[in-house]
Amino acid sequence: MIIGNRKTSYLEDEKILNNNYKKAFVFGMIALAIALPFFADDYTILMASLVGIMLIAVVGVNVVIGYTGLLSLGHAGFVAIGAYSVSIIHNLLGEWGVPDVLQPWLALPGAMGVAALIGILVGLPSLRVKGIYLAVATLSANFIIIFLIEIDTFSQWTGGRLGLTTPDPNFFGWVLDSQREVYALIAFCAFATILMVQNLFRTRVGRAFIAIREKDYSAEILGVSLLKYKLTSFAISAACCGLAGAMAAYFYAKVLPEQFELALSLQLVAALIVGGMGRTMGPVFGTIIIVLVPEILKISMGAMMGSSIEAAQLRAPIQEIVFGGLIIGFVLFEPLGISQIMDRFFRALNRWPFARG
């Protein structure tokens, strides 16, 4: 019976894709994402783009909750900051006469930077409180951000309750003015975000995050600065969510405040729980499930009940019940989420025919 994998170097031990089945799965997903615009219809591109946008945000949530162990329910606010900031910066650069081809290269880092700064401010309570108290504090920050977007004081920049028209980015003279074209940018940013965050946890900073998650007092005794690393965690997480918001602004013709309210924060956390907290592929699996479940319900209920108003009214509570059931089920029976299930599956494939169970 095979009871382990023989490794002959530290480099081999550090590999993420440590068997051929994992490599085939990941490279197959990359190939599918690249090929999708050439054969998929508009509806499939829409769903894939929504998965990509939410995936970037869930990767950011994973930094704070999954790796640093700080419970946050306010990340929808960071997504909103990214969406509004990138649009506002584009408008300002246009007024200042900056060429269109340079605007995205300034607006995207600018939006991520603004989101990171707000993330540091929102993360300050984590130095004094934790658990449910920190969740309430970050949730309050989400409400404050949406309130500031909607009030008349800033409506000349944010558009208030009427929303803000978003720009079409121009990369090297290529104007991304269709959803199919923006999908390519979203897919690239999603893969780049996963890769960069995964490699972050091979560094001193990432190990400090994990030490704080396991026991913050012990980490502090060992020389880990809670002030520095907790705020760094919030900054990186908020920057990822800001990038997701910027992608949403490029994808949609208009952004509205109600797109970034509590429901989005709960969806981000639900996707992380279902997929697996503190795992590289957890956000990927969780995001796919959370985005596709409503569509599967819509299609199945449409087939059973038709496209009546009653069916649409019934679908909303059923969707919430399904989400709640998924979260409860994974918390009780598989706390490490779908990622752990897939790991067991790939290990079994790798050791076949000796694997059991």
Kindly report, residue by residue over 188-228, the tens digit of the pLDDT: 999 999 989 988 888 899 999 999 998 888 888 888 899 99
Query: What fold does the segment set 16-351 form as a domain?
Result: ABC transporter involved in vitamin B12 uptake, BtuC (1.10.3470)
Confidence label for 83 from pLDDT (cuts 50, 70 and 90): very high
Chain centroid to CA 272: 9
Note whether 73 and 67 are within 8 A (CB).
Answer: no
Confidence label for 348 from pLDDT (cuts 50, 70 and 90): confident
Structure tokens at 13: 């031990």
pLDDT tens-place string over residues 233-282: 999 999 999 999 999 999 998 899 999 988 899 889 989 998 989 888 88
> How many helices (H) and strands (E) would you count in the chain?
15, 4
Q: Which residues contact 59 (CB under 8 A, 6 or more apart)?
A: 193, 194, 197, 240, 283
DSSP string, 179-246: HHHHHHHHHHHHHHHHHHHHHHTTSHHHHHHHHHHH-HHHHHHTT--HHHHHHHHHHHHHHHHHHHHH
Q: Which residues contact 221 (CB under 8 A, 6 or more apart)?
A: none
Task: For residues 219 and 228, give the distance between their C-alpha atoms in angstroms, rounded to a whole number.
Answer: 12
Give 170's strand partners.
Answer: 175
179-217: burial string, b at 16+ Cβ within 10 Å, e else? bebbbbbbbebbbebbeebeeebeeeebbbbebbbeebe
Domain ranges (residues) in the chain: 16-351
Strands (E), the chain: 164-165, 170-171, 174-175, 254-255
Confidence label for 144 from pLDDT (cuts 50, 70 and 90): very high
Three-class DSSP category at 97: coil
